[in-house]
Structure 1
């Protein structure tokens, strides 16, 4: 973040893959410095470019994230719904385009099969242990979810419990969740 940015702090977004489903959950708090500006923001979205279905969650500047989501939709259309290819092309543009380089956001994206983190540093990462988390409370949610993965809870229950723990610890995260779920192509009975 630039040094002149007025103390903006992030959010918490988590992606959990378990039992043939991927759940992406995000809190609703938007903070500026020590002030909560909004408590009901929707930071997890379902995208359907060109018939492909993708769930994306973002942490960072909202306007920057929407710019990235629009670009991702365009990449998905250009690459016929191939999520990994679209994310790699987005990351390349983000890293090399002078306008995009200034964007301050991160994404978690999934098509139900792949679970990816996309960053402005040019990274497209598939996390270990079927859990991805970003934002100011991301490490708290990640640790909680990793601990819950061995239980009999499903992906949504793991994500919700991990987000509740993050909201109890991180002052920039609240318990007002947006949760989206998507089945993988190999999932049965969904």
Structure 2
């Protein structure tokens, strides 16, 4: 009996990993406008949009990038007019703010990400989709261990589709680190 249960769980894990890989490839293909593009720019703009005034160091940690790579990314975004870097009380820290142009630039990528995955749900009934939503929330909720983990997990989330008060990741956050 235990062996059958273990094999069933292994099969489920295998199918979930394969499906996650398929979704990842579809989303990456949707978000790339050229072969060397990564999702870091969209993710950075999105994180800065919900964590207004985030520092370079905090953004690097949320993106899981080196400080140097984050500074280069922010410089590119600033040159495009998508980000405004401001000095704070601590002159050593740069605080980042998304411009209206940055908000406008990131939204199509976030919407396209959802659209790329939405078609998978077409085979489910409304009841099955509701059940899947509940299962996803249950699987995601324990992953929200701190603000940086939540920011990284939700870095490409479309927040009108999943506002913070309904997000299983944000629901566990008591507070965000002071900037």
TM-score, normalised relative to structure 1: 0.24
Greater Rg over alpha carbons, structure: 2
Higher strand proportion (structure 1 or 2): 1
Task: Work out which structure has the larger RCO, using CA pairs closer than 8 Å and 6 or more positions apart in sequence.
Answer: 1
TM-score, normalised relative to structure 2: 0.25
